[in-house]
Amino acid sequence: MKTLTSRLPALFVFTVLVWSFAWPINKIGLDYISPLWYTAIRMIVGTIIMMLLVLACKQLKLPKRRDLPLILIVGWLQIGLFILLINLGLAYMPAGRSALLSYTTSLWIIPLSILILREWPKPLHWVGFICSLMGLTMLLSPWELNWSNWHIIVGCGMLIAASLSWAISMLCVRYMQWHQSPFALLPWQLLAGAIPIALLALSQEPSLVIHWTGTLVFSLAYTSILVTGFSYWAALVLNKELSPLVMSLGFLIVPIFSIALSAVFMHESITLITGSAMGLIVLGLIFVSL
């Protein structure tokens, strides 16, 4: 347990970095292929890679009946449905706002914890939640969106639904009993998410012609291997060890880091409002961690 705990910061940094770069890379890939097939190929490749890796580590075992609840919940909600909804949302929304909307899981964690688990947050957790909510609202700037545009409404709905799906799965991962390690179960969870999406893609777009380019291959390789594979394993380990509220607010650092990357590499200025919002979210995470 001590060894695992000492690795949590490194796993967290790895996941934040991989997911921060994933949003623009994902958006680029969707210029070449439909969201449904992009998701299906990403899931299939990620599943094969993780199957081979777990097999090479001699940890691949057929799941038992007691493993099925976690396999199906994570596979369907946190992996399959979440990835599909964010790819659909990305087709309607810019990558930056899409990332922010998808990481609104913290908005669901507290009400779900109260309603389902009968757990009431500590006073400092409420303070952290409110600070983060204020910062997130400032970054999203909903007053700047054209709500008369149907694409905006559909895109926001998809991304908010994705965050709800992840929040439910996050609570289950934290409080359900694990009989095997996240590493051993991940290939089966990926498979559970990949099968229905692949079948949906075949039924809805059976004659799709894919124009393969180096950019599309790179986008799929990055999101399949690093995002769907390794970083999902890291996220499951973190989710299993940390509270859902800390996790959901902690991963708000992903869009913050994306904004910082834009400022450094694209020479975009960070406004006073953006800087204040980022500060509020970090402050909220500090309060929640106490």
Q: What is the DSSP letter of 176?
A: S
CA atoms in the 13 A half-sphere facing the CB of 265: 7
Greatest mean pLDDT among 129-133, 192-196, 258-262: 192-196
User: pLDDT tens, 199-210?
Assistant: 988 988 887 778
Residues 6+ apart with CB under 8 A from 37: 201, 205, 208, 210
Name the least confident of 43-47, 110-114, 115-119, 170-174.
115-119
Kindly report the pTM of this predicted structure: 0.81
pLDDT band at 47 (very low <50, low <70, confident <90, very high): very high
Percent of all residues in the chain with a pLDDT value above 70, rounded to a whole number: 86
- CA distances in angstroms from 90 to 46, 99, 252, 266, listed in the order given: 20, 9, 18, 21
Name the least confident of 5-9, 83-87, 260-264.
260-264
Q: Is the pLDDT of residue 132 over 60?
A: yes
DSSP of 51-120? HHHHHHTT---PPPGGGHHHHHHIIIIIIIIHHHHHHHHHTTS-HHHHHHHHTTHHHHHHHHIIIII--P
User: pLDDT tens, 215-271?
Assistant: 999 999 999 999 988 988 988 888 888 877 777 777 777 777 766 665 554 444 555
Comparing CA positions, the residue from 285, 229, 225 lying closest to residue 256 is: 285
Quick one: pLDDT at residue 244? 78
pLDDT (average), residues 60-73: 91
Quick one: pLDDT at residue 1? 44
